[in-house]
Every structure is written in structure tokens, then in C-alpha cells.
């Protein structure tokens, strides 16, 4: 069944359709939050909050963008709120999570070191700027779409991305 | 010196455009292509962009990611709880509104000088209704043929 049909069913109160939509989009949302927070516990926590908000407000989804974009927009807002509230999480971080792990043990160690280094570099970038970077680099959203998701002008999105690239080039 | 500064500014601007091209926001222009062929600084910058892209690929999550079913079912439970709370809140507001309206009306009657009448009415309700209950029950039973 296509996404639009599932959305219509979910909006008419079909719980199964809504569950399929959430399951289909789980990797996108969790992956996005994992890259943003670099913390497994925080990413799972926010993913759940995103799903709760999506279930409650499913009728507010107008279908102008993709369902995943709507969920990412909710995730971004919750992440920003958490930053304002300075919610604290334990240090179970992204290096502990099984990313694309190579078979070779040596490669795995190098990979882990690399991820750790990249993580530290990413953490040095302010969150608002990191959000624009993650959306562009990993999810290939256009500047306009990122602007809509983060509720900021196109020029700001562009300058945030440029800042991140230059900063990462220096750090990595 | 001034020429150097101008050149640096020019490279900076071109490198910003290169980021836009790298991320598919802009197309290559002939001018930029020619610049990249001749400028070492911008060439290195372009290579670094690719290198950064390659390094960040280790953040790619597995294609088949395990879905946390508990998280999703827990989200449904939380949402149901929230909906119930919201419905209760709406009912409470309705009750509060009605109670305020009735109290307001009663206060208005008292203000108009009908306080004693209301008091008598209330005494009658609280005292006589319990006394009248057996009588009302008997009446009902008789009506139903017992």
C-alpha cells in the first residue's frame, strides 16, 4: 500500500495503518536523531516522543511533504526544545552502536576510532548548525526543505552548511 | 597585498559555490570549471570535500535496521494516555464553565434580593427530597404494577 493511502487510513482512525507508517519511517527518524545527538539513549527517547506526537497529531499532517519529512520536522523541534531545557543523558554514545561494521577486526578498530574522532568533531559544531548539516549531508534535503523543517531562511541554511563543512574540514 | 586579499576573497566565494555544487544545489558553470582546472587551492578544497564525504560514510546506518517494536507500542500507549487526559481536561473545563454559570446566576438572584427564596429552596431540596424518596419509590412501583 502506498504512503498516501496509509496516511488517509491513519487519519480516519486506522491504528494498523499508522503503525505501518511509523515502522516504515523508524530507521529514518532514529538514524537522523542518532546522527544529531550522537547518543543512543537520547535518540531513542526523542524517537519515542516523535512517534507520540505523530500519533496525537496525525490529522494535522496535510500531505504537502513526505511523511518522513513531517516526522523529521517534529524530531527537530523536540531536539531544539530539549536543548533549551538542557535535558541530560548518559554517555552511551554512537560508537557503541553497531553501525556498518566491517567483518575484519582490525578494520572494526580503525572504524571505531574514526567514528570516535568524527563524533568529537561533530560535537564541536553548534546544534542548530549540525541539524542543517545532517539534513543536507545524510538525507539530501534541498536548502528550501531544510529551511521549512528548521523554520529558518534559505540563506541561513546555506551559511550553516558552509560553516559546518569548513569546520569539519579543519577538524577531521 | 590588496590583490592577494581580493584573490583570497574570490577563492572563498568560489569554494562556497563549490559546496553548493557538491550538494546538488547548483550546476557547474564554465567559469568555475576553468577555475578549478587552474587553481590549486580550490582543487585541494574540492578533493577535501570528497574526502570528508568518504569519512562521514562510516556514520551510515545498516540498511536493515532493527525496529524497536517496544518503542512503537509504548508510543501508542503514551498517546492513548495523553488523549484520555485531554478528554478529561475538556470535560473538566465544561464542568467548570457550567458550575460558574450556575453560581453566577444564583449570585445574581441573591443580588436582586431573592436570597431568602433561594435559601428556602435549597433547604427544601436537601431536607424534603430524602424524605420524599420512599413515597416516590412507592409511586413508581405502583405505576409498574407491583
Report chain A's mean pLDDT, rounded to a whole number. 86
Residue B141 confidence (pLDDT):
92
pLDDT for A121 equals: 87
Element (H, E) at A81: helix A67-85
Name which of A43, A35, A165 is nearest B71 in CA terms. Answer: A43
A172 HSE (CA, 13 A, CB side): 24
Asked if the C-beta of A98 comes within 8 angstroms of chain B's C-beta atoms, the answer is yes
What pLDDT score was predicted for residue B10?
81
Which residues touch A58 (CB under 8 Å, ≥6 apart)? A7, A10, A11, A18
pLDDT, tens only, A82-121: 888 876 655 445 555 545 555 666 666 767 787 788 888 8
Place A171 in a pLDDT band, splitting at 50, 70 and 90.
Answer: confident
The per-residue pLDDT for B36 is: 87
Chain B residues 57-96 with a CB less than 8 Å from chain A: 58-62, 65, 67-68, 71-72, 74-76, 78-79, 82-83
The predicted structure's pLDDT at residue A93: 52
- Please, which pLDDT band fits residue A19 given cuts at 50, 70 and 90? very high
Q: Of B125 and B8, which is predicted with more confidence?
A: B125
pLDDT higher than threshold 90 for residue A33: yes
Return the SS3 of A93: strand
Tell me the pLDDT tens digit for each residue of A129-153: 999 999 999 999 999 999 999 999 9
- The rounded distance, in Å, linking the Cα atoms of A163 and A160 is 5
User: Which of A20, A45, A71, A79 shows the shortest CA–CA distance to B74?
Assistant: A45
d(CA B59, CA A119): 9
Residues A38-58 pLDDT 10s: 888 899 999 999 999 999 999
Q: Which chain B residues have a beta carbon less than 8 Å from that of A145? A: none
Considering only CA atoms, which of B38, B59, B107, B133 is closest in space to residue A36? B59
Q: Do B82 and A162 touch (CB under 8 A)?
A: no
Q: Searching chain A, which residue's CA lies closest to the CA of residue B15?
A: A162
Nearest-10 Cα torsion for A102, A103, A106, A112: 30
Each residue's pLDDT tens digit, B63-122: 677 888 899 999 999 999 999 999 999 999 999 999 999 999 989 988 999 889 888 888
Q: Could you tell me the pLDDT band of residue B8, with boundaries at 50, 70 and 90?
A: low
**Beta-bridge partners for A39:** A93
- Contact indicator for B52, A165 with CB cutoff of 8 Å: yes
pLDDT band at B127 (very low <50, low <70, confident <90, very high): confident
Q: How far apart are CA A147 and CA A130, in angstroms?
A: 14
Distance from CA of A84 to the nearest CA of B (A): 23
* Closest Cα in chain A, distance from residue B117 (Å): 50
Substitution target from B42, B75, B85, B89 for chain A, most A beta carbons within 10 A: B75
Residue A104: the pLDDT is 67
pLDDT at A92: 47
Contacts (Cβ under 8 Å, ≥6 apart) of B56? A118, A137, A138
| Site from A165, A167, A170 to mutate, B interface, most B CB atoms within 10 angstroms | A165
Separation of alpha carbons A37 and A133, rounded Å: 13
CB of A109 less than 8 A from some CB of B: no
Q: Residues, chain A, total? A: 172
Q: For residue A110, which residues of chain B lie inside 8 Å, CB to CB?
A: none
Amino acid at each position: 500500500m502506498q504512503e498516501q493511502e496509509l496516511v488517509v487510513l491513519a487519519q480516519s482512525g486506522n491504528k494498523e495503518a499508522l503503525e505501518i507508517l511509523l515502522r516504515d519511517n523508524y530507521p529514518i527518524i532514529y538514524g537522523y536523531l542518532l546522527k544529531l545527538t550522537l547518543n543512543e539513549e537520547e535518540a531513542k527517547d526523542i524517537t519515542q516522543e516523535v512517534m507520540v506526537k505523530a500519533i496525537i497529531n496525525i490529522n494535522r499532517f496535510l500531505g504537502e511533504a513526505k511523511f518522513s519529512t513531517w516526522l523529521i520536522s517534529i524530531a527537530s523541534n523536540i531536539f531544539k526544545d530539549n536543548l533549551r531545557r538542557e535535558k541530560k543523558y548518559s554517555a552511551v554514545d554512537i560508537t557503541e552502536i553497531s553501525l556498518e561494521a566491517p567483518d575484519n577486526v582490525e578494520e572494526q578498530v580503525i572504524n571505531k576510532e574514526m567514528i570516535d574522532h568524527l563524533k568529537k568533531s561533530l560535537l564541536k559544531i553548534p546544534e542548530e548548525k549540525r541539524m542543517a548539516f545532517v539534513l543536507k549531508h545524510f538525507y539530501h534535503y534541498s536548502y528550501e526543505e531544510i529551511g521549512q523543517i528548521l523554520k529558518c531562511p534559505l540563506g541561513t541554511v546555506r551559511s550553516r552548511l558552509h560553516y559546518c563543512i569548513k569546520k569539519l574540514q579543519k577538524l577531521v | 597585498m590588496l590583490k592577494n586579499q581580493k584573490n583570497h576573497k574570490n577563492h572563498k566565494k568560489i569554494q562556497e559555490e563549490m559546496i553548493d555544487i557538491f550538494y546538488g544545489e547548483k550546476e557547474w558553470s564554465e567559469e568555475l570549471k576553468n577555475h578549478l582546472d587552474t587553481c590549486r587551492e580550490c582543487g585541494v578544497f574540492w578533493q577535501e570535500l570528497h574526502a570528508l564525504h568518504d569519512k562521514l560514510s562510516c556514520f551510515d546506518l545498516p540498511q536493515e535496521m532493527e525496529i524497536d517494536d517496544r518503542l512503537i507500542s509504548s508510543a501508542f500507549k503514551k498517546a492513548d494516555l495523553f488523549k484520555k487526559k485531554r478528554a478529561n481536561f475538556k470535560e473538566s473545563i465544561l464542568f467548570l464553565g457550567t458550575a460558574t454559570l450556575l453560581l453566577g446566576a444564583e449570585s445574581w438572584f441573591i443580588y436582586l434580593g431573592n436570597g431568602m427564596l433561594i435559601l428556602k429552596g435549597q433547604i427544601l431540596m436537601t431536607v424534603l427530597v430524602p424524605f420524599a424518596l420512599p413515597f416516590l419509590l412507592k409511586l413508581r412501583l405502583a405505576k409498574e404494577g407491583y
